[in-house]
Chains A and B, each alone.
Chain A
Amino acid sequence: MSAVLETEGLTKRYRRQDALSDCSLEIPEGHVVGLVGPNGSGKSTLLNLAAGLIPPTSGTLRVLGQPPAASPAQLAKVGFVAQNTPTYSGLSVSDHLRFGAHTNPGWDQALAQRRVEQLGLDLKRRAGKLSGGQRAQLALTLAIAKRPEVLILDEPVAALDPLARREFLQILMETVADHQVSVILSSHLVADVERVCDYLVILIASRVQLAGEVEDLLASHHRLIGPRERVGASPENQVVIDSSYTDRQSTLLVRSDGPITDPAWTVEAVSLDDLVLGYMSQGKRGEHTSSVTPEGST
């Protein structure tokens, strides 16, 4: 299986600040990838690079094996919905569909019409008069009807109310089921990511902190609870991601590939929420590797 997104040492610098630093990823096709991280961590930069909207400062990236936007054929394979799901407010819904048909060689008009009908959108209505949820659905419809191999969505549901958000994700997941399209989406909402994504990338302070299949990540991270005096006596072969202490107790979030056998620790499974928050608070402290790791292999 080839990679939907492959980057090596990818860096984007604005003035003197890195928006994305030394990003190396290899994401296989067929996943719904969730890109999470705090504001300003480089999520949009990575997605804009993948869509070919901006060039990298250094490093390489390939989308479906090709540099982004390298050719019309390559452009046709990528559907992109920018942040805030922009539409042309003066154009009607049917104008949008006509525009999509003109500009996309693989345009599926039947699909677009079916979707608009399903959504109950009035073809004559101007996009500026649609609700936020409807506008997002229209933007998604345009991206889907070009029949791309990968859909790139930047915070597609951030501005939507819970119901519109659910409807948006329903349509997105139906599309994945129907057309086997890969999806890369950024979101703050870990609960949404948990529902729809099977691959996770955590970006913090312009760097990739963690990337992998959600199931593997959940299997390799644990919460350890033990007595306070074991501080510093970090369990072997484990990387401590986050830690908190009370006067009697230590609670650690660790990454470990093997089983944890030390009986002094109570081992619990972590949720995706715990995992993301653990990495985020690590990033906030500015630690990229923990001081208590034996090998410091991050």
Chain B
Amino acid sequence: MIDFYIDTHSGVPPYLQLIQQVRRALKLGMLFEGDQLPTVKEVVGRIAINPNTVSKAYRELEHEGLVTARAGVGTFIAKSLSESTTALAPLRHDLQHWVEAARKAGLDDESIEALFRECFRAPSGAVVA
């Protein structure tokens, strides 16, 4: 089951943080169709946030079609999002190599992140093979 957390320094509204955490868990293959999300009471009892925040995040996820709420039972993942592991594994492998190369080239974490973000934002097709 997913373990939520709230980063109060991130500037991201708490309900969005919960949504992002569910999406991330789905994409990384840590949550699958049929998995149950913790109840609102369980979440607030663990991380001490407003129950309305959790309800709002769950409503939003339902609206996106990622979860379904079954009255009196709970909230369940409606579809899996994880990229097929066959695609994910080689990409992760390449990226790990790239990160190691960047470290060897003397880049610190901040520079690596900045570079990654810069390339991420570059228009696609910018790479000349």
A170/B40 contact (C-beta < 8 A), A218-B13, A269-B11, A271-B11 known: no
Q: Do the beta carbons of A195 and B48 come within 8 Å of each other?
A: yes
Q: Do the beta carbons of B41 and A177 come within 8 Å of each other?
A: yes
- Give the docked Cα–Cα distance between A173 and B46 (Å): 10
With both chains docked as a complex, state the minimum distance between the C-beta of B67 and any C-beta of chain A, in angstroms. Answer: 18
- Give the docked Cα–Cα distance between A30 and B31 (Å): 32
Q: Do the beta carbons of B50 and A195 come within 8 Å of each other?
A: yes
User: SS class of chain B's interface: helix, strand, loop or mixed?
Assistant: helix
Q: Inside 8 A of B85's CB, which chain A residues have their CB? A: none
Q: Do the beta carbons of B41 and A174 come within 8 Å of each other?
A: yes
With both chains docked as a complex, state the minimum distance between the C-beta of A4 and any C-beta of chain B, in angstroms. Answer: 14
Restricting to B44-82, which residues have a CB under 8 Å from any CB of A? 44-53
Q: Do the beta carbons of B13 and A196 come within 8 Å of each other?
A: no
Residue in B closest to A215 when the chains form the complex, CB atoms: B13
Q: Do the beta carbons of A173 and B8 come within 8 Å of each other?
A: no
- Give the docked Cα–Cα distance between A32 and B45 (Å): 15
Residue in B closest to A172 when the chains form the complex, CB atoms: B48
Complex partner residue of B45 from A174, A196, A215, CB under 8 angstroms: A174
A198 within 8 A of B: yes
Residue in B closest to A190 when the chains form the complex, CB atoms: B8
A194/B48 contact (C-beta < 8 A), A177-B41, A218-B13 known: no
Q: Inside 8 A of B9's CB, which chain A residues have their CB? A: 271
Restricting to A150-170, which residues have a CB under 8 Å from any CB of B? 166, 169-170
User: A84-105 toward B: CB 8 Å interface, digit per residue (1/0)?
Assistant: 0000000000000000000000
Q: Do the beta carbons of B51 and A195 come within 8 Å of each other?
A: no
Q: Do the beta carbons of A177 and B49 come within 8 Å of each other?
A: no
Interface size counted on chain B using CB atoms at 8 A: 18
A173/B11 contact (C-beta < 8 A), A178-B41, A195-B6 known: no
User: Most chain-B Cβ atoms within 10 A of its Cβ — which of A169, A173, A178, A271?
Assistant: A173
Q: Inside 8 A of B14's CB, which chain A residues have their CB? A: 194-195
Restricting to A215-255, which residues have a CB under 8 Å from any CB of B? 215, 218
A194/B8 contact (C-beta < 8 A), A173-B44, A178-B41 known: yes
Q: Do the beta carbons of B49 and A173 come within 8 Å of each other?
A: yes
User: B17-56 toward A: CB 8 Å interface, digit per residue (1/0)?
Assistant: 0000000000000000000000011001111111111000
**Interchain residue pairs with CB less than 8 A apart (29):** A32-B50, A32-B52, A166-B48, A170-B44, A170-B45, A170-B46, A170-B47, A170-B48, A171-B45, A172-B48, A173-B44, A173-B45, A173-B48, A173-B49, A176-B44, A176-B50, A176-B51, A177-B51, A178-B41, A191-B8, A195-B6, A195-B14, A196-B49, A198-B50, A198-B52, A198-B53, A215-B13, A218-B13, A271-B11
Chain B residues in the interface with A (C-beta under 8 A): 6, 8-9, 11, 13-14, 40-41, 44-53
- In the complex, besides A32-B52, A176-B44, A195-B50, 15 extra interface pairs with C-beta distance below 8 angstroms are A30-B52, A169-B48, A170-B44, A170-B45, A170-B46, A173-B48, A173-B51, A174-B45, A177-B45, A195-B6, A195-B8, A195-B14, A195-B47, A196-B49, A197-B50
